[in-house]
Amino acid sequence: MIRVLLADDQPLVRTGFRMILEVETDIEVVGEAGDGTDAVRQAAALRPDVVVMDIRMPVQDGITATALITAAGTSRVLILTTFHLDENVLGALQAGASGFLLKDTDAAKLVEAIRVVCAGDAIVAPAVTRRLLERFAREPPARDGDGHGGRAAAVRRALDGLSARETEVLMLVARGLSNAEIASELVVTETTVKSHVHHMLTKLGARDRVQLVVLAYEAGVAGR
- Domains in the chain, please, with CATH? 2-132 (3.40.50.2300), 140-219 (3.40.50.2300)
Q: For residue 54, how far is the Cα from the chain centroid?
A: 13
Helix (H) or strand (E) holding 190: helix 190-204
- Mean pLDDT calculated for residue range 195-218: 84
Residues 55 and 64: their CA atoms lie apart, in Å, by 9
Phi, psi of 196 (to 5 degrees): -65, -45
In the predicted structure, residue 147 carries a pLDDT above the cut 50? no
Residues 28-76 pLDDT 10s: 999 999 999 999 999 999 999 999 999 989 999 999 999 999 999 889 9
Residues 76-118 pLDDT 10s: 999 988 766 666 777 777 788 888 888 888 899 899 999 988 9
Phi, psi of 27 (to 5 degrees): -125, 135
Q: Give start and end residues of each alpha helix (H) in 119-163.
A: 126-138, 150-159
Residues 181-191 pLDDT 10s: 899 999 999 99
